[in-house]
């Protein structure tokens, strides 16, 4: 049974011309793209999306980064999509992420780490509703 997850391809990825590379990795894995949009994140959406992080020390620069340019948001679907996508994306810190992962191969930063992916069924549900309110 297919599971759904939300992915954000962050402003650093678009700035660096890595959109096709990153989307291609998800496609080649066999995940289905069920929704896709190019858009920016404003301050209010950032605070909602990252509700669990708004009080953390790293949040102000994270918010500045995430609101600093266009992004691509996507709903990806497939068997165990949440865990499969997180494995493809790799650990948060690009300097520590395993080679072969998106962050491990393409990011050298703990903040500008190219991709966000939902970390649980509850967050996938919440984040899909936030980014794609008409999606059912
Ligand atoms: P993401 O998966 O989008 O979830 C929260 C984001 O905060 C994370 O990716 C990074 O972009 C950023 N982040 C998490 N921890 C740190 C940190 N210690 N320093 C800077 N940025 C961080």
β-partners of residue 37 are 73
- Report pLDDT for 12: 98
Atom of ligand 1 nearest to the CA of 66: 11
Task: Specify whether 116 is catalytic.
Answer: yes
Return d(Cα 94, Cα 106) in angstroms, integer: 8
Q: Which is nearest to 118 in space by CA: 69, 68, 80, 71? A: 80
Q: What separation in Å is there between the alpha carbon of 111 and the centre of ligand 1?
A: 5
Judged against a pLDDT cut of 80, whether residue 38 lies above it is answered with yes
First to last CA, the chain: 16
* ipTM attached to this prediction: 0.94
Domain boundaries along the sequence of the chain: 2-131
Q: Whose CA is nearest to atom 3 of ligand 1?
A: 116
Ligand 1: list residues with CB < 6 Å. 53, 58, 62, 92, 110-111, 113, 116
Atom of ligand 1 nearest to the CA of 10: 3
Return d(Cα 59, Cα 110) in angstroms, integer: 12
β-partners of residue 4 are 77
- Compute the radius of gyration of the chain from its Cα atoms: 14
pLDDT tens digits for 47-80? 999 999 999 999 999 999 999 999 999 999 999 9
User: What is the CATH number that goes with domain 2-131?
Assistant: 3.30.70.141
DSSP element (H, E) containing 18:
none
- Report pLDDT for 136: 73
**In the predicted model, what is the mean pLDDT of residues 16-23?**
98
Q: Which is nearest to 6 in space by CA: 125, 104, 113, 94? A: 125
**In the predicted model, what is the mean pLDDT of residues 17-37?**
98
């Amino acid at each position: 049974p297919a599971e759904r997850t939300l992915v954000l391809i962050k402003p650093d990825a678009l700035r660096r011309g890595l959109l096709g590379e990153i989307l291609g990795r998800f496609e080649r894995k066999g995940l289905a793209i069920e929704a896709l949009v190019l858009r920016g994140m404003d301050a209010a959406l950032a605070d909602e999306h990252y509700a669990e992080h708004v009080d953390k020390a790293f949040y102000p620069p994270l918010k500045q980064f995430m609101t600093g340019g266009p992004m691509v948001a996507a709903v990806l679907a497939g068997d165990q999509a949440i865990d499969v996508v997180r494995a493809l994306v790799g650990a948060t810190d690009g300097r520590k992420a395993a080679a072969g992962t998106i962050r491990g191969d393409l990011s050298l930063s703990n903040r500008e780490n190219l991709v966000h992916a939902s970390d649980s069924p509850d967050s996938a549900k919440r984040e899909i509703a936030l980014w794609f309110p008409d999606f059912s």
